[in-house]
Structure 1
Amino acid sequence: MKISIIIPTYNRAPFLAEALESVIKQTVFPTLFKNQEVEILVIDDGSEDNTRKIVEQFKPYTTYLRQPHRGVSAARNHGLQRARGELIAYLDSDDLWLPEKLAVQLSFMKAFPRCMVCYTEEIWLRHGRRVNPKKKHQKYSGWIFDKVLPLCLLSLSSAMFRRQLFEEIGFFDESLPAAEDYDLGIRAAHRYPIHLIERPLIIKRGGHSDQLSHKYWGMDRFRIKALQKALSLQLTPEQERLVRLEIIHKAQILVQGFQKRGKNKEAIYYKQLIQEQTAKLKN
């Protein structure tokens, strides 16, 4: 059972070296590599630093694929298109895997062949210091469609997918400059149960200035787009109700934010969206 490890990156050479090191140091990596059951695809999204040199230091384990700067969703999709594995594992270039990550998830996926996606608990670092996730970040297992609507629970660096999942629900939405993981999580949780391995097996590093959450103000703009897309899925009446309520909630936050910034046109748009969704709920 071959696994494709996909690492999208953009101008993160120092982080990337550590991320790659964490993959090479997986307990099962030597055996997988010897048996040609693993590949590491690094998708360079048009970096201007020494990303290529970093990747070359990890030959013969890595395959370097470069594209013009098109965003993280396009990079993820590029890797998926080139991947040859039945199993897919993403690693963001600023995150790290703990040594047992692959071994635990491979064992789980082999034990449960009908499982399409599993994910793990995480250790969080902010500016190099460990922080505890808030209660709202609690992870769940099973049919968790209602749980993935408020925020992104499916951390891609912690997940392992069967390729079949992407063939069924589609790839990453390249029209979204951010929150593409949130969008994918909604589609995945609608289609299949998502299984949680209750053990921290990755380190998520945050606080650096190039994170998309820092680059784009009002991330809920993109989450609302994902929720609007979700309305086209074959939802139950209760699922549809939850999606519309979440659109209203996120739109209310954006209205306040735009008003504070004096952006009345944008505030009016989201006020109208609230009215539309409220009317739909009453029908």
Structure 2
Amino acid sequence: MNQPLVSVVIATYNMGRYLPEAINSVLDQTWQNLEVVVVDDGSKDDTAERMVAFESEPRVRYLPTENRGQPKAKNRGLKEAHGQFIAFCDADDLWKPEKLAVQMPLFEDPKVGVVYSEVSYIDKDGIEVDKSIPYQRHSGWVTDHLVIKNFVPFGTAVIRRACLEQDGMFDEELPMGIDWDLWLRYSVRWQFRYSPEITYIYRIWEGQMSKNYRGRYENAFRILEKFLTNHPNAISSKLQSRAWADMYIGRGMSVAHAEKKFLEPLRDVLWSLRYDAMSWPAWKALAKLLLRKT
């Protein structure tokens, strides 16, 4: 197939240590028709100095801005993107060289709006990490699955520009969970395709936002409420109840495991049973709490 332009958005904040490697991993693609839009969200480290190395690279654009948070930084990158397709790479992560060559052919069907793939993990020093968490991935019309769990690794996703034009960019009012919010909206109108190849390398290090489980669930509740309010007929009432039940179970058990609390997780599990009294995960969670096996 002809190579349409792919715009790769990298929003960065104080990631000068890793950023050049991330950019080079994108530039090293076997797919040559691409551009890299780097949005510097007010970094105070040596990011600007490290970006000097890319001044002569016509495929890289560097946009320093004031610090406004990752949703606004990513949206700035989306607004500056010229490509018919758009992809992402976090500033501390890496792409595999074949990423676009593997994923782009799956857009042959015009109903496909998002193509995503598998991911591997490294530590802060680039050493491979075995994080064997079994995720079930899905293709096609995925709303029913996606409302229960965000199974799309963000950095692996490539999206059709029409998704942005018809269904919007990142919600700038959300400090976390912005990708789940985006995928839910896109899933109503567009099909997703999954490629099992590992095309993305995710770096795990201390202090990442993803470890803020309380903040993550606070925003997840907001996202689910927003989606169901804006798309009341997207899923069945039974599935809506299950989605709420799973949300309460997830938050309760996360708090129980991390903080060794009892009453607060118990309230969440009981709320989950109010939504779905037949939920086996809820009854299992309740037993774990009562037996103090969290």
Please classify the TM superposition score into its range, dividing by the shorter chain length.
0.7 to 0.9
Aligned to 2:25, which of 22, 26, 30? 22
Deviation for aligned residue 1:247: 2.3
Aligned residue identity for 1:134: I
- Which residue of the partner structure matches residue 177 of structure 1? 175
Distance 1:167 1:51 in 2: 31
* Cα displacement (A) at 1:271: 8.9
Which structure 2 residues correspond to residues 209-220 of structure 1 after superposition, within 5 A?
Answer: 209-215=206-212, 217-220=214-217
Q: 2: distance between equivalents of 1:103 and 1:254? A: 38
Equivalent residue for 1:146? 144
Alignment correspondent of 2:95: 97
Q: Which residue of 1 aligns with 2:133?
A: 134
Letter in 1 for 2:169: F
- Is contact 1:157-1:202 (8 Å) kept? yes
Q: Is the 8 A contact 2:214 2:251 kept in 1?
A: no
Using the TM superposition, give the Cα deviation of residue 203 of structure 1 relative to its aligned residue in structure 2, in angstroms. Answer: 1.1
Q: Which residue of 2 aligns with 1:10?
A: 13
One-letter amino acid matched to 1:223:
A
Distance in 1 (CA, whole Å) between partners of 2:252 and 2:164 is 34
Structure 1 residue 218 displacement after superposition: 4.3
Let me know the Cα RMSD of the aligned residues.
Answer: 2.9
Structure 2 Cα separation of the partners of residues 237 and 143 of structure 1: 11
Contact 1:231 1:240 (C-alpha < 8 Å) held by counterparts: no
Pick aligned residue for 1:195 from 188, 193, 196: 193
Task: Summarize the Cα distance change of 1:272–1:229 in structure 2 as closer, same or farther, 3 Å threshold.
Answer: farther
> How many residues in Structure 1 have an aligned counterpart in Structure 2?
268
CA distance in 2 between counterparts of 1:124 and 1:152 reads 18
SS in 2 for 1:13: coil
User: Are the aligned partners of 1:55 and 1:62 in contact in 2 as well (CA < 8 Å)?
Assistant: no
Work out whether 1:242 is the aligned partner of 2:245: no
Question: Residues 102-113 of structure 1 correspond to what in structure 2 (within 5 A)?
Answer: 102-109=100-107, 111-113=108-110
Pick closer, same or farther for the CA change 1:204–1:237 going to 2, 3 Å.
closer
Percent of aligned positions with the same letter in both sequences?
Answer: 30
Specify the alignment match of 2:221 in structure 1: 224
What is aligned with 1:254?
A: 251
Given that 1:209 and 1:215 are in contact with CA atoms closer than 8 Å, whether structure 2 keeps it comes out as: no
Structure 2 counterpart of 1:43? 39
Where in structure 1 do 4 or more consecutive aligned residues deviate above 4 Å? 258-262, 266-279
Q: Is the 8 A contact 2:106 2:193 kept in 1?
A: no
Partner of 1:81: 79
Comparing 173-182 and 213-222, the one that deviates more: 213-222
Distance (Å, rounded) in 2 between the aligned partners of 1:46 and 1:249: 37
Amino acid at match of 2:129: R
Cα pair distance change 1:235/1:191, threshold 3 Å? farther
For the residue of structure 2 that corresponds to 1:81, the secondary structure is: helix
Tell me how far 1:20 sits from its aligned partner. Answer: 0.7
TM norm structure 1: 0.82
SS at structure 1 position matched to 2:54 = coil
**1:7 match: secondary structure:** strand
Counterparts of 1:276 and 1:167 in 2: how far apart (Å)?
39
Residue 119 of structure 1: aligned partner: 116
Give the secondary-structure state (helix, strand or coil) at the position aligned to 1:8.
strand
Secondary structure, in 3 states, of the residue corresponding to 2:36?
Answer: strand
Distance, in Å, in 2 between the alignment partners of 1:229 and 1:269 is 23
Q: Tell me how far 1:210 sits from its aligned partner.
A: 3.6
CA shift at 1:190, angstroms? 2.4
Cα separation, partners in 2 of 1:229 and 1:56, compared to 1, 3 Å: same
